[in-house]
Amino acid sequence: MLDIKYLRNNRDEANQRLIDRNVEDGVLDKLLADDEKRRSLIRKAEQLKAKRNQVSDQIGAAKRAKDNSAAQKAISDMQTVADQIKDLDKQLSAIEESVHTQAAHLPNLADPRVPVGPDDSYNVEQRKWQPTDLQGRPAAFSKTPAWLKAHFEIGEDLGILDFQRGAKVSGARFLYYVGAGARLERAVYNFMLDEHRREGYTELLTPYMVTNESMYATGQFPKFVDDAYEVGKNQSMTMIPTAEVALVNWRRDEVLDESELPLYITALSPAFRQEAGAAGKDTRGLIRLHQFNKVEMVKFTKPEDSYNELEKMTVDAENILQKLELPYHVIRLSTGDMGFGSAMTYDLEVWFPTQDKYREISSVSNDEDFQARRGHIQYRDSKTGKLRFVHTLNGSGLAVGRTVAAILENYQNEDGTITIPEVLRPYFGEDKISKENAR
């Protein structure tokens, strides 16, 4: 949620920054016009309530003076004022709901360092990385060997990814991981969690269903309700689209102790997404599923520390890819490509040789106080004694299925086997996947 005082006091600047986020010109004008109506009604209601107090005093004085005529007139005046207050309260309730709904649909404002542009073509590459010793594996941008298969093809050949039965049981964009496939997935997320714990993150095991209030606090609702799986009576609960929702809401409606900051937390969870608007995209494989595992990182920080912590969180995600020795690059997203709640986002994209391009595997964002305002997450400043909103950061560390897919492509051998990355061998227990050990 944006600071309404900032929007009022910096109307032109805020309007341009919203236009940069692909918000139509005029949306802010409508919000601020309704906000002024709301404030005017509040002033009128306060005046009437003051008048009601005066009339109440007049009634008491008239009764004490046994002036029945004056008392009756004052009582009549009191009823008139009460009716006016009731009518104003009704108007105020309607305009407050309108203002809240409009404000809830406004995205966060981008940090000035974010490249301005309407879509992903304005994203800016920050850096790229690949192992110095590829150990015979194809380098990024090198010619793809003719024998190399897409991750879903080699996975099906080895019998470790079963898309056909996943579709039979649950429909499109579901699968079974089988044997070595399930063990590889488990090895990957256990490795990720251990790495994050070493970097100071506290591991949580979160609920997988949350209330609509929780979805609102992190910015998923109301704008992205169509992409959510709502369940329960009257659709009162939602399957989490990311552990970010459960992690951020862990401290919703709380005042944190300043000594807790920065607070690092991480969790593995399934993510459930309708993928509305994804028809025809990535119809095969692990890239776009309705249910997938993801390790998430979240931070609560002081405002003045949040951008340093964003850089650190990005490095934490990069650390996973580097230890897995997977080629990747980091891009800074443009104003038109960032997520709804983000003020700045870095995407990490891993190299897929059969697609001859990088694909997103992590998105790391600073939401500043956007989520904290919606979720009422504050801390008390020890110097001023005043309450301040924390800044929240979130990042994938990483999407597990996409990491498995990248391993199947980048560690594939000509004989149809998969070499297990060295850091995963203690978790997986073997150094290769072949048809002989696939189960």
Binding positions for ATP = 273-275, 360-363
Q: Which segments are annotated as binding site for L-serine?
A: 242-244, 273, 296, 394, 396
**Of 261, 264, 256, 262, nearest in space to 378 by CA:** 256
CA distances from 259 to 17, 195, 381 (A): 34, 24, 10
**Of 293, 294, 306, nearest in space to 264 by CA:** 306
CB-CB contact of 343 with 109 (8 Å): yes
* Cβ-Cβ contacts under 8 Å for 165 (sequence gap 6 or more): 176
Q: Which segments are annotated as binding site?
A: 242-244, 273-275, 296, 360-363, 394, 396
Is the backbone peptide bond immediately before 134 cis, with ω within 30 degrees of 0?
no
CA distances from 234 to 210, 237, 425 (A): 14, 8, 47
The two tokens of residue 403 are 């990491």
Whose tokens are 């919606």? That residue is 374
For 65-130, where are the alpha helices, taking DSSP H only? 68-104
DSSP category for residue 300: E
Per DSSP, the residues of 310-370 read HHHHHHHHHHHHHHHT--EEEEEPPTTTS-TT-SEEEEEEEEETTTTEEEEEEEEEE-TTH
Which residues lie across from 391 on neighbouring strands? 301
* Cβ-Cβ contacts under 8 Å for 307 (sequence gap 6 or more): 111, 344, 366
